[in-house]
Amino acid sequence: MARTIVAETCPECGSLDVRATEPKWFLVEFDRRVDLDDGWVERLEFECRDCHGSWD
């Protein structure tokens, strides 16, 4: 079974130097994290490190 990897690219400049953040995330003790969320990411925000554009 072949798997495909897709890299996020900046829609403004086409750079591959992109970072992702989960804005809802906050520091929780590891033993309590399971009680607060099921591990799925609700939303990701992306930011280009080259042109500083952002999108979600």
What is the pLDDT at residue 3? 86
**Average pLDDT of span 13-37:** 71
Domain that holds residue 20: 16-25+42-56
Report if residue 8 sits inside a domain. Answer: no
> What average pLDDT does the segment 5-30 reach?
81
- Check residue 50 and give its pLDDT: 97
Q: How many domains, the chain?
A: 1
pTM of this structure: 0.60
31 within some domain? no
What's CA 13's distance to the chain center, in Å? Answer: 19
> H/E element holding 47?
strand 45-48
Radius of gyration of the chain (CA): 15
**Is the pLDDT assigned to residue 26 strictly greater than 60?**
no
Residue 2 counted as domain residue: no
The answer on pLDDT for 17 being more than 70 is: yes
pLDDT of residue 43: 74
